[in-house]
Amino acid sequence: MVAIQYPPGLDNDTFPALKAIVSTARSDYSEYVPPSCWILFFKPKKLARAEAVVVAVRELRQRDERFRVIGVALHAGVVIYESDYLGRIRSTPLGDEVNVVLRAARSDAQLA
């Protein structure tokens, strides 16, 4: 899973760049967590996609001063979720591991 933490109040100039990263990630499931976080879930065989999201966010931070306060974290762990008959995730994954990645992203945002 990947969590992206950003400060509330990203404006119309900055929000689209971050949204583009999330939209093109091709995660198995993603959810916006108000007020200022996205969490993206990837099945284990799609680890490269998750790593690409982390790289993209870090490159965005390097490129543009306005994004220095964005935190990102990657964490693998066991979660529970509901899936359809094709194995697609249909409900927000739950478990302690979700909290771990959210805390790591918040911590990374404070250090950025």
Return the pLDDT at 36.
85
Return the pLDDT at 111.
67
- Domains of the chain, residue spans: 2-111
Q: What six digits make up the tokens of 32? A: 């916006």
Stretch 43-67: mean pLDDT, rounded?
94
Whether pLDDT at 73 is above 90: yes
Q: What is the pLDDT of residues 30-44, one digit of tens each?
A: 998 887 899 999 999
Tell me phi and psi for residue 111, to 5 degrees.
Answer: -85, -20
Strand arrangement, sheet containing 29-33: 29-33, 37-41, 2-5, 71-74
